[in-house]
Structure 1
Amino acid sequence: MIRKRLLRVGTGKKVPFTQLVKIRNFTAWTIGLLCIVLLSGCSGNISHAEKYTGDKADTENSVIRIAYSGKLDESPLFAAVENGYFEEQGIRVELINGEDAEIQEGIRSGTIDGVTADYRFFKSIEEGLPLQFTAGLHAGCIRLIVPADSEIGSVTDLQNATIGIEAPGDGTMVIASMLFKNNDMYQDGEEVQWSCYGEAGYEKAFQNKEIDAAFIWEPAENTAEQLDQTYRTIFATAQKSSTGGHGHNHSSSIHFTRSFVGLSGKLIQEHRDKAAFITKAWLEGAVWVSENPEAAVKLAASKYGVKGSYEDNMELISSYMWTNGVKDAKPNIQYYITEQRANGLLDNTLEEEDFYRKVFAEILPEFQ
């Protein structure tokens, strides 16, 4: 029996989610792609930067205006500015602080040239936002957890359960969708009962009996030890021996990009070389964050208004993998597009390859 489902957002607010949550049939290449995408482990950072060996960008009077909203995942941008990485590439940068809606409006009007982008931008790009991704900045692994006393023991036990995810269309939903398909669950148009725990956190959602299981981003090592005392891990992309409930072994860890370098389509079209140098400097900032997390947290808080305690931000930044780089961007973006389309976040009639070319700009030679 096919049931209409609702998405619960936060702590109790419900919104219709019929189109969004429908698990449609996945193509074979989609599942195969997940098994090969991003083979680096989650126990540490990725400390490589894409090497672009061309000449510096021609110095022009124009200034590249990059927006930020004061979030920790914007740390590579802060580092690139403070350490002079943009200047080393011949790029003059002005940082502009604003809220998300203001930033997107600035991109549309041409007053903003770049931003740290994430999964939420796919829909805006579909609707005409002139922004393209040029590289991944940081990534994370994902766990499926249940309370320690839960009767759920495998992925297949999640049929008809309420599934907690961080946000519609993000990596937690992507992994969940993959597991359901791998285990022949929610077929023939049957819908999943998702519940977005969001900023309130999965702990509160479990306490309020709003969810039966949760897909969460892999926490820092010290928090993971505490988590294991309260919850059981049913599946983890960081575990080489993880199975999907029917013995689908993942021979290596899988992680998903959480943020990207986002640049104006006009900038890329008219100054492609400059866009490449901007991307390189931004990636160098991500490498610096990987190697200097304490300094990155202090910089973000003292100069760029990032909120939260030092301890909490250190825990968060330590759970990220910096950098994700250019070569991993293509499979990540393709997978996000496929799953957001499959779950109704993007138009079902969308041509995925055409949209991929609209989203991603292949501007660094190492990508070819």
Structure 2
Amino acid sequence: MAKARLIVIAMVGGLLLNGCNRNSNSAAGAANKVRIGYVGLTCEAPIFTAVEKGFFKEEGLDVALVKCDWKNYKDVLALGGYDVTHHLVMYFLKPIEQGLDVKFTGGIHRGCLRVQASMKSNIRSVKDLRGKRIGVPGMGTPPFIFANRVLGANGIDPSKEITWLVFPAGELGLAIDKGEVDAIADSEPIGSMLVVQGKVRNIADQAADLPYSDEYCCAVLVNGKFLARNPKASAAATRALLKAAKWVETNPAAAAKLSVEGKYLASTTDQNTFAISHLRYIPSVSGAQTAVKLAAAEMKTAGMLSPSTDVAGLADRAFARLEGVSDEWLNSLQVEKVAGGQVTPNWIKRQYARFDPADRFCGLCLLPVIQ
């Protein structure tokens, strides 16, 4: 593995921003220097893969990794603490609406979110959720935003007709068991595990239900000022990440092992492989652009964006098409298939029997693992 990498630990508050600014000054001298932000999540496998497999170097980039705290992630990108990342579309749309200068440039993977109801309940459709209690891993988290979108699209006011209750991600199934909630919003692989255990039924599944099944959950993001100054480097970084996403889809077990052995996140190889196996890394440019439009429209309907927001204008402002970054290029792109780097259906079934939703594995795009 390529170990020659720089990891800048971003601190909270002023120290965080000052530290990133000092790194910014040192990186600003060359157009090929790019700082890539990350939190330490399973779904960030393409970032780690692009470093370890040399995809950034293939694009002529000199990359430094900037490890940031989740709660400061958006602000650090906006203030120039790092230049490029990939992250949740829904997580950034409200800040972009409010003036955050960042751009989406390509889709990394499709969605992994679900709204699920207790098998003991009579809830069988979204409309049955009106007036119910829904458990979420946090207000403002991706599962919460997805549930709001689904409710709003079905004529339910999430702020007035739902009681929201917050539980640790691994305890959502327990909340269902104890009758503390009627339904939950969660992320993979927790959602699949609870279905297999017979605790819940799916009410809305981002991976299977239209119009969400083809929607990109995570996309490449570039700081707007960096993009304006360095369009070629921005395009090169985007290509490296999209190629890495394709590599992860082809070699999920190898990508999971690479992420753990490189100490990019706190997990075991088996746990990380199990989590990655529930995501579809099918990179797309047009798919990401469509996802931005759909998410913005439904977030507005759900009251999560301003009633006066021009959805089409917001989507156009939020997305940048870059030279050499296209679906045609992606379709022609070939990546290696590593021996033993894939995941078999039988292996996944065995893991369902082993893992408990309360285990402290990395929860994909849900929340970072807390040691």
- Fold equivalence (TM over 0.5): yes
**Deviation, structure 1 residue 341:** 2.9
Whether 1:86 and 2:45 are equivalent positions in the alignment is: no
Aligned counterparts, 1:255-334, within 5 A:
255-334=214-293
**Deviation, structure 1 residue 124:** 2.9
SS of equivalent residue, structure 1 residue 319 = coil
Match of 2:164 among 172, 194, 216: 194
Q: Which residue of 1 aligns with 2:66?
A: 96
| Partners of 1:146 and 1:231 within 8 A in 2 | yes
Q: Kindly provide the CA deviation profile for residues 97-123 of structure 1, in whole angstroms up to 9, marking residues without a partner as x.
A: 222355444434434211222232223
Q: Structure 1's 197 and 77: CA in aligned 2 closer, same or farther, altered over 3 A? A: same
Q: Structure 1's 95 and 82: CA in aligned 2 closer, same or farther, altered over 3 A? A: same
**Deviation, structure 1 residue 135:** 1.1
Aligned counterparts, 1:119-198, within 5 A:
119-168=90-139, 172-173=143-144, 176-177=147-148, 179-180=150-151, 184-186=155-157, 191-197=161-167
| Partners of 1:171 and 1:256 within 8 A in 2 | no
| Partners of 1:169 and 1:345 within 8 A in 2 | no
Q: Structure 1's 86 and 179: CA in aligned 2 closer, same or farther, altered over 3 A? A: closer
Q: Structure 1's 340 and 185: CA in aligned 2 closer, same or farther, altered over 3 A? A: closer
Whether 1:211 and 2:181 are equivalent positions in the alignment is: yes
| Partners of 2:114 and 2:187 within 8 A in 1 | yes
CA distance in 2, matches of 1:260, 1:164: 26
Q: What is the identity, as a one-letter code, of the residue corresponding to 2:105?
A: T
Whether 1:354 and 2:323 are equivalent positions in the alignment is: no
Q: Which residue of 2 aligns with 1:42?
A: none
Whether 1:66 and 2:36 are equivalent positions in the alignment is: yes
**Deviation, structure 1 residue 354:** 2.5
CA distance in 1, matches of 2:100, 2:229: 17
Q: Structure 1's 221 and 292: CA in aligned 2 closer, same or farther, altered over 3 A? A: farther
CA distance in 1, matches of 2:166, 2:283: 26
Using the TM superposition, name which of 298-307 and 358-367 deviates more. Answer: 358-367
| Partners of 1:166 and 1:196 within 8 A in 2 | yes
**Deviation, structure 1 residue 360:** 1.4
Bigger relative contact order (CA 8 A; separation at least 6): 1
Q: Which residue of 2 aligns with 1:34?
A: none
What's the TM-score once normalised by structure 2's chain length? Answer: 0.69
Q: Structure 1's 360 and 304: CA in aligned 2 closer, same or farther, altered over 3 A? A: farther
| Partners of 1:220 and 1:315 within 8 A in 2 | no
Using the TM superposition, name which of 175-184 and 326-335 deviates more. Answer: 175-184
CA distance in 2, matches of 1:291, 1:217: 22
| Partners of 2:152 and 2:298 within 8 A in 1 | no
Q: Structure 1's 222 and 151: CA in aligned 2 closer, same or farther, altered over 3 A? A: closer
Match of 1:232 among 169, 190, 201: 201
Q: What is the identity, as a one-letter code, of the residue corresponding to 2:106?
A: A
CA distance in 2, matches of 1:95, 1:180: 38
| Partners of 2:149 and 2:302 within 8 A in 1 | no
CA distance in 2, matches of 1:295, 1:262: 25
CA distance in 1, matches of 2:267, 2:93: 28
**Deviation, structure 1 residue 305:** 3.3
Using the TM superposition, name which of 59-68 and 283-292 deviates more. Answer: 59-68
Using the TM superposition, name which of 193-202 and 317-326 deviates more. Answer: 193-202
Q: Please, which runs of 5 or more residues in structure 1 have no aligned partner?
A: 1-58, 243-249
CA distance in 1, matches of 2:300, 2:235: 29
Q: Kindly provide the CA deviation profile for residues 231-279 of structure 1, in whole angstroms up to 9, marking residues without a partner as x.
A: 233454555xx7xxxxxxx5x8714322211111122222323322211
CA distance in 2, matches of 1:298, 1:126: 37
Q: Kindly provide the CA deviation profile for residues 18-77 of structure 1, in whole angstroms up to 9, marking residues without a partner as x.
A: xxxxxxxxxxxxxxxxxxxxxxxxxxxxxxxxxxxxxxxxx9564111122222121101
Q: What is the identity, as a one-letter code, of the residue corresponding to 2:95?
A: S
CA distance in 2, matches of 1:190, 1:296: 43
| Partners of 1:80 and 1:282 within 8 A in 2 | yes
Q: Please, which runs of 5 or more residues in structure 2 have no aligned partner?
A: 1-28, 329-371
What's the TM-score once normalised by structure 1's chain length? Answer: 0.69
